Amino acid sequence: MKSFYSLAIALLFCASGGALKAQIQLDNQFNDWTNQPHVTDTEGGPFTSVSIASNVDWLYLHVELLNEVALDENILPNDLHILLDLDDDVSTGVDYANQGLGVDLLINLADRQAIRYTNGSGIETFNEVGMRVSPTYSSKEFEIAFDRGLTQVVGPNVRIAWYDSDSQSGFPEGGVSHTLNENIAPWIPMSLDRPSGTLNRVAFWNMNGRMDQPNAQAAMERILQAVSPDIIGFSEVSDVSANAVANLLNEWIPVENGGAWNVVKDDWDLMVASKGEILSSYPYVNRQFPTLVEGNEEWGVPLLFTSSHLKCCGGASNEAQRQAEADEYMAFVRNAIDGEGALELAPNTPIIYGGDLNMVGLDNPIYTLVTGDISNESAHGPDFNPDWDGTTFTEWNLLQTDDPFDFTWMSSSMNSEWMPGKLDYLITSDASAELKGGFTLRTEEMSADRLAAFGLEASDALDASDHFIVVGDLGLGDFIGMAPDTDGDGVNDYEDNCLYAANPDQNDFNVDGVGDACSDSDGDGLSDSLEITVYGSDPESSDSDGDGVVDGLELCVCSDNNLCPGDLTNDAVITVADLLVLLGLFGAIC
């Protein structure tokens, strides 16, 4: 996944003779910090290592901690502070906690406050100082970015330290100095085109209850026309009906060849919209809406597509409910794979899950949704490996098209205490459904030329919702070509109408869904195929000639000269057809 986003950056890096370093991406992936210098804590404090990087627009921090914390939540308490000496001058700012820095801006993570000591005074929000963090949920490792303009970075040097009020320890001692530079490669905006190998473009979008608002609708229309998905998972749409949304989609992005959008709604605020037929839906899964959807015919099977909206926000009860919802969904998937639930999945069915997961506080729910490690096994059953190749699902790290950040939600108010965060996700069974490309669309950061090229306006994303649309281009995973073929007839088990009898022709004379090679419609002990192609008897009559002797006993008593014991069908091979004959002879009087 990292190579997917970094290809253009790598090319630029090589072309420059190595002068530029790879772009720092706030995506909960930390490989881009490998070549950045770090200061390591050897004193056994709460910090493991810290690093600083910058480019013309952003000041970046990386921190590794001894223990897991949720930076701006109280579920895993911390008392961490970031001390920013924005001009590396001890004569300006304050010497906070006697750490030897002239602190111009103090970040109090636990209280979600930024305190300005230079060029202003008092408390500001993290939004007002242009702060971004990844991941949004608990971790031992974080990457942070500050908008240099909003933060009021003076330079040319800055000095930064971390401080833990609980242990009254700072790190590194005296802070670490950084010379502002532009050595990090610039971000190259992404294309909105579908990559080669894409079978279906899927999208997830929390609509913030605005789908019946004309101003929001105009922005939604432009965004959906620019993105043009095939399947959409909507959340926060309790205010509109499935029929109303179908009408909007048919007007905004008409289906090819005169088709129409299919839309289903659960019992509250979730919808699934698809260009293909929606075969079934399962609204009883709490705050998650699994559906079986017809996608591109090259999948070979329908898709299990789930739109979700897990319980919001922090606090112990909300954390517990969000975890219970993740447990419940994974139990649903496990039972569908095992054939023990309301839905029985064909082998290698692509499983696509996404939407607003409200991943703040603890990281446990996303861990469950990816790994199949169920928290409450007494209520939801045992853990399992959810992907078809016996491994985990994959959570795809989708970045904004025009900025190297993964956040999908932001408040419309700079005064909000909550900074932007990644709340919306895309998870798939990558063995069957692999990401070929994907992005989050945040229009305010797009250039005028790019906005014009896609028919967008800069305000569209936030006019449409406070969540940005998340888009994934999915194609066949590596495991699709390894679909089981139990009888070796060249037809995959999930398409084979006779799993244990070779029948590459898949003939089914009475169209009952069971192939002639393994069907005995009249119960005479002979398969339909044998009666049609070998004996010329009637597969729908147990006594074709009406002489009182069933066809199985009359036509197929034993093999010629007993040269092949067990070959009751005289075809020189022992197969399930011989077993059918034997079963048909039970009770016969010879």
Specify the pTM.
Answer: 0.79
For residue 577, which of 560, 589, 559, 563 has the smallest C-alpha distance? 559
Whether residue 418 is contained in a domain is answered as: yes
Same domain flag for 538 and 418: no
Whether residue 503 is contained in a domain is answered as: no
Q: Which CA distances in Å does 159 have to 122, 131, 174, 421?
A: 21, 17, 9, 26
Whether residue 393 is contained in a domain is answered as: yes
Whether residue 61 is contained in a domain is answered as: yes
Domain with 236, as residue range(s), is 200-482
Total domain count for the chain?
3
Which of 431, 465, 482 is where one domain is finished?
482
Same domain flag for 394 and 246: yes
Same domain flag for 441 and 322: yes
Same domain flag for 357 and 249: yes
Same domain flag for 569 and 456: no
For residue 121, which of 94, 147, 155 has the smallest C-alpha distance? 94
For residue 310, which of 373, 388, 368, 387 has the smallest C-alpha distance? 368
Whether residue 491 is contained in a domain is answered as: no
Tell me: cis bond preceding 156? Omega within 30 of 0 counts. Answer: yes
Same domain flag for 211 and 102: no
Per-residue pLDDT of the chain (590 residues; tens, 9 = 90+): 333 433 333 333 333 334 456 679 999 999 999 989 999 987 878 999 999 999 889 999 999 999 999 987 778 888 999 999 999 999 999 999 999 999 999 999 989 999 999 987 789 999 999 999 999 999 999 999 999 999 999 989 999 999 999 999 999 999 999 999 877 777 889 999 999 999 999 999 999 999 999 999 999 999 999 999 999 999 999 999 999 999 999 999 999 999 999 999 999 999 999 999 999 999 999 999 999 999 999 999 999 999 999 999 988 999 999 999 999 999 999 999 999 999 999 999 999 999 999 999 999 999 999 999 999 999 999 999 999 989 999 999 999 999 999 999 999 888 898 999 999 999 999 999 999 999 999 999 999 999 999 999 999 999 999 999 999 999 998 754 445 566 778 776 657 888 778 899 999 999 988 999 888 898 887 889 888 888 889 989 988 888 887 877 777 655 445 555 566 666 666 676 677 666 666 665 55
Strand partners for 394: 428
Q: Is 449 left (phi over 0), alpha (psi -120 to 50) or beta?
A: alpha
Same domain flag for 207 and 175: no
- Rounded CA separation 423/362 (Å): 13
Whether residue 499 is contained in a domain is answered as: no
CB 128 within 8 A of CB 135: no
Q: Which CA distances in Å does 300 have to 328, 427, 484, 492?
A: 28, 20, 13, 9
- Rounded CA separation 381/124 (Å): 47
Q: Which CA distances in Å does 138 have to 67, 356, 359?
A: 10, 17, 9
Whether residue 184 is contained in a domain is answered as: no
Q: What CATH number is attached to the domain comprising 151?
A: 2.60.40
First to last CA, the chain: 69
